[in-house]
Structure 1
Amino acid sequence: MAGRQKSLTNPPSKRARRLVINASHVVATHTYLALIAFGAALFLGCVLHYKKIVKNGVAGYPDEWFPSVSATIGDWYPERNVFQILIALTSGPRFILVSLQYFLTQSPNTSWPGFLFVVGIIRTLLCGGWVYITSNDDHDVHDVLMIMYILSNVPWMWGGVLCTPIGHAKARRQRRYVATGFFALTIPMVYFFIQHKVHRVPGAYTRYSFFEWSLILLDVLFDSIAELDFKDSNLQIVLGVSLDTSMGSNDISTTAPFKESYGVTEAKVEGPAKSAYEQTAGQASGDTLVQRMRTILKLSPNARTVVSLISDVYLSYLFWSIFTSLMTTLFYFSVWELAISGSELSLLVLLSPVLLGIGPLRTWALMRSGQITLRAVAILVGLGSYALNSPLHRLFAVNFANAVILLAQTAVWSAGKDGYQGLLLGLGLVLLSLVKHANHSTNPVWPMLNEKSGGYNKTGIFLAVCALYELATRPSVIPEAAKKGEKYASSLTDAGASLASSFRWLATSIALGSMIFTLHCFFIDSSTIIAWSWTGYKEGQPKGPLPHLYGSLTLIAQAVGLSIPTLLPARWLSSPLWFSYGCAGAFVMYRFRDWTGFVGGLNLAVFVMSVLPSIIQQSTQQKMAGRTYFMAYFVTILFYLANVWTVAYAFVPGGAYLRERSDLVLIAQMVAISFAFNWSSKKGTAPSSIFYIPNSTGIFARHLLALFSLSAVLVTIYRWPPIGPRPYKSGTRIFNAGIWTVHFGIDNVGYDSQRLIRDLIRDMQLDVVGLLETDLHRTVFGNRDLTRVALEDLGYYVDLGPGPNMHTWGAALLSKFPIVHSHHHLLPSPHGELAPAIEAVLDVYGTEVTVVISHNGQEQDPLDRELQSKELARIMAKSYPRPVLFLGYVVTKPHASRPAPYEILVHDGILYDIDPEDWDRWCEYILYRGLYRTSYARISRGIVTDTELQIGQFVIPRHGFQLVNQTLEDRMLRIWKEDLPEDHWFPMEYYGNENDGGVNKHYYHVFNTPLYYKLPEGAQV
């Protein structure tokens, strides 16, 4: 005791009771524990339960032979328990790792390390969530936590790269490689997940599992790179109290000793890498984190720069939103008139940039006060017009908003000194496409949407106010990179003047006008180029990409294209060789179908987005801004009209000259864009060769585009239905079918009608439904996918009829039953509009049923209708004796004799009318063969369209039994619904009339009730 007491009261001067741990050991411990945890679970699972963990809902061994992560770590004892124990041990080093990284990069001058610290903590907790809540415990919660964890890796990995100390080049390089690999592998992983989940391909889940395990490995490796940072900085953890006051220069406390019982410190490092302590202590030789980020990013020294850039991107998105809303708003009147209605004159508001020819106005528009005023007025009027109940009033508001926003936008373009404005325009476009992808292919701030139809108008306005406030209070600081480019920018102005004097402005205007139209025509929605290539199903599988699943690839292609001018010299993008690449992409998209055509469209997206900043830059001519942008938008208007004329030729003067000639329009687009390229043998003579993008802008744009691309993939995964489509009345052999002409998805007061359509389809429990007038992938309809809401909310297999390059008004098939194969037809139309038809074979309760959806020509062309009806009859007769269901728009009176369509379809097609005693029909008809019909109803249109919904209920005969008693008398035996099981009843809520009863103004009309029919005696169902 005495000795011990002496030791305590007189401690030796050269002893210290403390524990020193190299911080790199913490990282190594975390890495090895994590790898051992996953590796042990995989080893034990394969040894003990191999066939059980490789089995899934589609197939088992030998089709599936490698397990997924979820099945390995969460399904069976003891591997699950071993894994959870080891991963629990990993949590301690992981929290310490996150804390040490924060210490290494912290600075009083920036909040970035703190943000990254919070993300790291949340990411760790999310990891614990999906690890301990397995797919067996709660599949949805497990998946949500997993997706949130992957999403948290975006700021974690991106921030990790940015916050790597300046001298740690090896660590930064490895982080870039691992992060790039991590996000790149998500694309094939999603592809194989689609093959497994949607297409139910045996073996696809095994391939998916390889990529899933690869992401786990890359995730662990990314965190392990912190070991390099800690070694380079000689970061150590000190436990205990140092009692040595005579330590030499090699001790870790050279700079300043810590007196706390727990501390973190580091030694001075010789060489280029400065320590974190030196950097945050404010030593003259050290760089702060902000300075390191400025060196990496070349941004101004605070987060305000990033906020300003984000604000600018959102304002660019709003420009595209207001600009693209004009065509949808004005065309509402044209589709009601089916002729020139006068609303088309609204296109003339696009010529408002001619006012920039007024010097004082242009000067004011370039001032901050002018920009804020113009944008505030345009945004508040344009976005706020959704609240106006009158379509005409909305049109006036949108016209005014477009005139003002174009004045503001083109004024900024005219004064641009680098490629920033072109890059912003592209970022806004990609954001618009992403938002539409996430919102069922509709833009939530368009005036044609409101709260009931999927709009987020108030949210959009609120964010707009925030962006305008940021713009109004933005410091007038020129980024460092921009200062370096001022001398270069001045040469641009001089070059622009010389080009202007030689009428180069005209060529520039034509190229810009074509570019604006091309972006609007093909790339404001991620599924438009898919619609151009789509041809249907074969052997139970889609022959091309499904719009709702593969639209994210379009967004990725756009992002890649827009990144190119930030990486490659401008002269490369102005060469004829690059233009040839774009022409090749356009040709493949137009000429080929399915995946080949889609790949052509992706390459066109890369090309168009890559030259967008250059073309915007070429328009930089302040003195002639008025006539430059006037001519550009005049060219855009011409392309709008030509594009519509190719399909609306039957209703417009001179339409015959552009009938079905989208090829001519596409050629004209490319020729016009060619004016922006350097065709001279002398280098540097074309505007494209004097194109400049500040490095800081390029880096920010690439990160933002990567975020957009990842978000598109995650949206696709989030929208993924957990199970495939299922019929409403499984096991009963009953199915409901309907036909509805939905008037281009625009309701009677000009709002998007997708949700109203969905609600009625859901309430009537339609297993098979044909929708007509559905080809909305055109500028005048907003490039929308009319099936997206019903598909994602209700679960259907979808076949879109001939695409926009086939020049019809479109048809669509929604089916709860698998589509075995399908074929698209263009029906004979020598004089009138081209008529589409879908012929599809469905697997209905194990019986193949042919379903035909068609939209015949108008009353004005009797020869067209006769030829179209003969072709439809031939299609349906050739499948005899297979059951057939015809759902079509044919323009004929019941029982009309030849050459009217009715007799041709019924007799030549070997079909029965669903109710031959219904004399009140004119357009829509349901015909059938090989089925028992048990009910028929007609439902009023409500406010959705100008056409009712007709529905029929059918029963599939039992396998091995033929139809019996199919005479007219037997088929027309009507009964009360109470004499049939309730499975056959249609909803009671829809009884009523226009003034009393019904739902959303839909009610049973004509008969005021569904008609029910007795099954023939002896029928086996």
Structure 2
Amino acid sequence: MSSKEKDGPNTGHLILKASTVARAHTILAYTAFISALTLGLLLHYKKIVKNGVAGYPEEWFPSVSATIGDWYPERNVFQILIALTSGSPRLMLVSLLYYLQRSQESSLPAVLWGWVYITSSDDHDVHDVFMISYIVLNLPWMIGGYIQPPRDAQAFFLSIVPLVYFFVQHKVHRIPGAYTQYSFFEWGLIFLDVLYDACAEEEFRLNDLHVSLSKDVSSYKPQQYIIDITKNKKSFGSGFEDIVDKHAVLLSPISYIFWSVFTSLIPTLFYFSVWELAIAGSELALFSTLSPIWLSIPPVLNWVRTRSGQATMHLLSFIGVGAYILQSPLHRLFLVAFATSAAMIPQVVTWADDPAYQSIITALGLMLSSLSKHVNHSNNPVWPFIDERSGGYNKEGLLLAILALYEFFTRPDEGARPFDSEKNDCPESEPTTHWILGALPLGSFIFILHSLLADPSTLIAWSWTGYENGRPRGPLPHLHGSLTLLCQSFGLLIAIQAMKSSKVHLLANPLWFAFGSASSYVMYTYRNWPGYLGGLGLSIFIMGSFPLVLHNASSTRAVFKTSLTAMLVYCLLALANVWTVAYAFVPGGVYLRERTDLVTIAQMACLALAFRWPALGNRSVGASSLSSTVFSCARTILTLISVLGVLATLYRLPITPAQPFRPGHRMLRAGIWTIHFGIDNEGRDSQRRVMNLIRDMELDVVGLLETDLHRNVYGNRDLTRLIIEEMGYNVDLGPGPNSHTWGAVLLSKFPIINSTHHLLPSPHGELAPAIEAVLDMYGTAVTVVVSHNGQEEDPLDRELQSRELARIMSTAYPRPVVFLGYVVTRPHALRPNPYEILVKDGNVHDVDQDDGDRWCEYILYRGLYRTAYARVSRSTVTDTELQVAQFVLPRHGVGVTNDTEAARYLRSRKEELPPEHWFPMSYYGNQRWGGVNGHFYHVFNTPLYYAISDDAEI
């Protein structure tokens, strides 16, 4: 109702500018927080800067919750003002924003209308939960507002990164002063949040939005107010095309299944190569990705371009998910290879026919796959080698995919004309691209997506180098993986905005490629945070280049030749990437030994051909004809992916520091296990089975070998995720995938003071990794070494590696040492075999020199009292047993008082020792009876126990 309308005699009338409501909300909100901060600093400064870790002067600036909720009178002033803010101004602001942004094009404003957030509480734990909730719930509110219509919220998002980092430093690592740094970003989020809502004032003013309050006294009710809102706004039509586009985004679950099946192929086939340690023949399954060769037959191409053809091929690809039912690894491989072959055919056809739309759908499917791995402990829940026992949700994934396919198949006819195999939708005047220039970038692009962005923590594994002064030098996969998802979302948002504004040509500029190349160089060259930041830049570049690469490939007008060549390029790059590590097992592999730099250069060189270089001619980059609904829905999905990624990280954030199992007895249980790349004898993921045995044995320190799984052949996984998230270990991942080893991991219930990653001398054979870490065990610094030496085929390598390990252990003297390693030697073998070199030159003792039935795994020690030693059978988890030793630390500052052989071999029965020294009784048994899940004490059929000499000081 406008002010010019006639007012009846029984009607009161009041018109209020909507911008006034927004201004009142801003003033009240800022006043509430600023007044509380001012009063708190003046009246209770040292009290509000103190927290559970430290006080003044280490902490010198208060958090939001301490300022507004702990002391009188600032708490009361804040509560009164925030109550005024959250009443009519807040409710009216949200409602007016909904009215301003609503349209028939999108349902997003209706979703945002109901979005609210929760602030902090007096209770410490509840405060943490509510603060996280406040941040997470604000993400959809701001991103949604950014989408409908665009508003300035980037500063809020950027503040979240350091906020989470300093919160982890305070909450997990308990570092004094970290909470002060966290507080600055916390206050920044508050003020940016209010500033964000303050932007509504300008929007209301520009749209001339008013609120009219009319008091109707003509009815029987004494008081009845009628609220009318008027706005100068264009009307929006709702065409049939918009409805189709809105539902078309539901294809993203089908794209998710495509990426799930596609990324499961190589891990499924490589199971056989690992067991053979040579070419096993299963590698031929990789070439099932070359199925686009069938598109050379025109009737096949025309059929696949129909809806029924695409639906049929998608349905056949779902067999790859259903393959989890089969018990035989070979049978699963057959089905996964067939499913991959079926999935590739409709995928490359839709890339060629509709590159703009498919760039969005394919990218969303990849990010959904990556998110599902981040949420599910680094395992895609619908992979065929994952089942319910190992954290799989295969049935749910199949159901979701079938529902999406049903929606696609029953969708109303869009009126699309049939395609011809020799023609393309591009106008005849539009220049075409030579099929080679379209195929090479596409193949390289798919390889980069698979090898670097299929899991959020892969880029972190490339940069990780360990700990220094009790703090990680770089990002940790389980804490910072969501940052990769955020940057991927940002890159895709750049692409979406470029398509929406018809500026995709800007992404074809060589300067954009220069940014991607520079990011790739930084990622490869540097480590820790600088290297990871380079990886984040590369993720932005790759996701932002999605529409460019797909359009470049589609403009060749040669679907068969382009797609087949692209997948051949992908296969060659995938094989080359494997050979950089597995060079000893393939003919000619020595030429690619440790040459990830060549693979990186090759992938970027191929990708460069998609950009507009003067020498390649002025090629078209295409324009998008998609409706705004598609862009809106895509950005909504990206918002949800980003929010869920951050939420999953915060949900699993450790609440308390890791604690050893027996802190009151100064005891240490350590174990070494070679877990065969996390694939058990049945070809299934073994992460949960590994965790169960570690938990039952109550191991404080664990060395895991053959764990570098951030490669395509192992599914870009992280075998530590479940263990550290469920059991609360500190983790140090050994040299990353760019260091060309089979990997090593150190899990510790004790704080890691410092750690160093070593690449042991390996002139002939495989490169051997080692982790040297100093742990704080009950106030005593203890060096723990985890290593994986070369195989018996290379005796010189093993000799040189053993000398280096002995040097590391002897240099640590007189500090206590625990060695957990895979060394390939017989007990008491003389030089140049590793045993004598390690024991004599390293100045350490064998865990039990009378155990002559060993070959590869060894536990050595110095400066500790060993009280127990056990060998636990592997069951079907891997090809190697778990060895466990138990130690007691001497009294702090004293050391071992009697280190003679007689004192070390005072054998005992468990009944003669306190029960806290006993290993679990449930693991007594054999292959026919007893034990747990196929694990039991073998070789000796019981743990070996040792008494501590009477003169020991413990």
Normalising by structure 2, we get a TM-score of 0.92
**C-alpha distance in structure 1 between counterparts of 2:68 and 2:940, whole Å:** 60
Alignment-mate amino acid for residue 452 of structure 1: R
Separation of aligned partners in 2, 1:764 and 1:365 = 55
SS in 1 for 2:545: helix
Q: Superposed, which structure 2 residues align to 1:386-405 within 5 Å?
A: 386-405=324-343
Q: Name the residue aligned to 1:936.
A: 869
Cα distance change, pair 622–605 in 1 and its aligned pair in 2 (3 A)? closer
1:664 to 598, 602, 612: 598
Q: Note the alpha carbon deviations across 1:287-315, whole angstroms, 9 max, x for none.
A: 45x55xx8xxx99555x633421x12222
The residue type equivalent to 1:583 in the other structure is S
Could you tell me how far 1:746 is from its partner in structure 2?
A: 0.8
1:860 paired with 2:848, answer no
- 1:352 and 1:403 in contact (8 A); partners too: yes
Residues of 2 paired with 1:143 and 1:106: CA distance? Answer: 34
- Residue equivalent to 2:456: 526
Kindly report which structure 2 residues correspond to 1:42-81, keeping only aligned pairs within 5 A, or say none.
Answer: 42-77=37-72, 79-80=74-75
Q: Partner of 1:555 in structure 2? A: 485
Name stretches of at least 5 consecutive residues in structure 1 with no aligned partner.
Answer: 1-12, 164-171, 244-257, 275-286, 483-487
Q: Report how far residue 745 of structure 1 moved.
A: 0.7
Match status 1:880 vs 2:813: yes
Match of 1:265 among 227, 235, 249: 227
Native 8 Å contact 1:19 1:240 kept in 2: no
Shift of 1:184: 3.0
Deviations 1:957-994 (A, max 9, x none): 11231312211111111222232222222222222222
CA separation of 1:155/1:830 partners in 2, compared to 1, >3 Å: closer, same or farther?
closer
User: For the Cα contact (< 8 Å) 1:747–1:753, is it kept in 2?
Assistant: yes
Q: Which amino acid is the alignment partner of residue 740 of structure 2?
A: H
Residue of structure 2 equivalent to 1:778: 711
User: CA shift at 1:709, angstroms?
Assistant: 3.1
2:402 is aligned with 1:407: no
Cα deviation for residue 242 of structure 1 reads 5.7
Instruction: Give the deviation of 1:27 after TM superposition.
Output: 5.2
Provide the rounded CA distance (Å) in 2 between the counterparts of 1:723 and 1:858.
Answer: 41
Instruction: Give the Cα separation in 2 of the matches to 1:268 and 1:538.
Output: 62
1:334 aligns with 2:308: no
CA apart distance, 1:89: 4.7
The 5 A counterparts of 1:31-430 are 31-77=26-72, 79-80=74-75, 83-84=78-79, 86-93=81-88, 94-95=90-91, 97-98=93-94, 114-117=110-113, 119-120=114-115, 123=116, 127=118, 130-131=119-120, 133-136=121-124, 139=125, 141-160=126-145, 176-177=151-152, 179-224=153-198, 232-239=208-215, 241=217, 261-266=223-228, 273-274=232-233, 287-288=234-235, 291=237, 301-302=242-243, 305-309=245-249, 311-379=250-318, 381-416=319-354, 418-430=355-367
Distance in 1 of aligned mates of 2:428 and 2:935: 62
- Name structure 2 gaps, 5 residues minimum: 1-6, 418-422
Higher mean alpha-carbon deviation, 64-73 vs 439-448, is at 64-73
> Using the alignment, how far apart are the partners of 2:764 and 2:147 within structure 1?
63
- CA distance in structure 1 between the partners assigned to 2:495 and 2:199 by the alignment: 31
Offset from partner CA, 1:362-410 (integer Å, 9 cap, x none): 111111111111112212x111111211111111110111010111111
Aligned to 1:511: 441
Tell me which residue corresponds to 1:759. Answer: 692
Check whether the contact 1:965–1:1017 (CA below 8 A) recurs between aligned residues. Answer: no
- Which segments of structure 1 move beyond 6 Å, counting only runs of 4 or more? 103-110
Structure 2: how far apart are the matches of 1:332 and 1:149?
45
Which secondary structure state, in structure 2, belongs to the residue aligned with residue 419 of structure 1?
A: helix
Distance in 2 (CA, whole Å) between partners of 1:690 and 1:188 is 38
Are 1:832 and 1:864, in contact at CA under 8 Å, matched by a contact in 2? yes
Q: Distance in 1 between matches of 2:799 and 2:105?
A: 78
Encode CA deviations 1:944-969: one digit per residue, 9 max, x unaligned: 11111111111111123131221111
Kept after mapping to 1: 8 A contact 2:728/2:749: yes
Question: 2:812 & 2:230 partners in 1: Cα distance?
Answer: 84
Q: Contact 2:112 / 2:141 at 8 angstroms: preserved in 1?
A: yes
Q: Which of 617-626 and 525-534 deviates more?
A: 617-626
Q: Are residues 436 and 267 of structure 1, via their aligned partners in 2, closer, same or farther at CA, if it must alter by over 3 Å? A: closer
Per-residue deviation, 1:560: 2.9
Contact 2:475 2:529 in 1 (8 A): yes
SS in 1 for 2:558: helix
* SS of 2:491 mapped into structure 1: helix
**Structure 1 residue 22 and structure 2 residue 16: aligned?**
yes
Among 756, 759, 768, the alignment partner of 1:835 is 768
* Pair 1:579–1:83, CA change in 2 (3 A): closer
Aligned partners of 1:589 and 1:631: how far apart in 2? 28
1:534–1:473 CA distance, 2 compared to 1 (3 A): same
The separation in 2 between residues aligned to 1:922 and 1:80, in whole angstroms, is 68
Worse overlay, 444-453 or 880-889? 444-453
Deviation at 1:914, TM superposition (A): 0.7
Rounded to whole Å, the distance in 2 between the matches of 1:14 and 1:491 is 62
Tell me by how many angstroms 1:757 deviates.
1.2
Corresponding letter in the other structure for 2:409: A
Distance between the aligned counterparts of 1:106 and 1:704, measured in 2? 19
Residues of 2 paired with 1:577 and 1:95: CA distance?
A: 46
Pick the structure with greater CA Rg: 1
The percentage of aligned residue pairs carrying the same residue is: 56
SS of the equivalent of 1:641 reads helix
In the superposition, the TM-score normalised over structure 1's length comes to: 0.86
The match for 1:680 is: 614
Alignment match of 1:539 (pick from 443, 449, 469): 469
1:26 and 1:574, CA in 2 relative to 1: closer, same or farther beyond 3 A? closer
Shifted more, 323-332 versus 215-224: the winner is 215-224
Equivalent residue of 1:877, what SS?
helix
> Take 1:538 and 1:218, find their aligned partners in 2: how far apart are those partners?
34
Separation of aligned partners in 1, 2:106 and 2:760: 66
Which residue of the partner structure matches residue 250 of structure 1?
Answer: none
The one-character-per-residue Cα deviations of 1:864-918 (angstroms, maximum 9, x if unpaired) are: 2112111111111111111111000011111111221111111111110111111
Q: Is the 8 A contact 2:467 2:473 kept in 1?
A: yes
Contact 2:926 2:936 in 1 (8 A): yes
Count, aligned residues = 934
1:383 counterpart letter in structure 2: V
Alignment equivalent of 2:536, drawn from 602, 609, 618: 602
| Cα distance in 2 between the residues matched to 1:791 and 1:824 | 20
Q: State how far apart, in whole Å, the 1-side matches of 2:831 and 2:301 are.
A: 66
Separation (CA, whole Å) in 2 of partners of 1:622 and 1:978: 78
Alpha-carbon spacing, 1:977–1:238, altered in 2? closer, same or farther (3 Å): farther
Q: Give the deviation of 1:101 after TM superposition.
A: 5.4
Residue type of the partner of 2:825?
T
Q: How far apart are the structure 2 equivalents of 1:633 and 1:690?
A: 23
CA spacing shift, 1:113–1:744, aligned 2, 3 Å: closer
Q: Match for 1:365: what amino acid?
A: V
Partner of 1:3: none
Structure 1 residue 700 displacement after superposition: 4.6
Provide Cα deviations, 1:76-120, integer angstroms capped at 9, x if missing partner: 455445544554454432445545655677789986555444x24
CA distance in 2, matches of 1:108, 1:819: 57
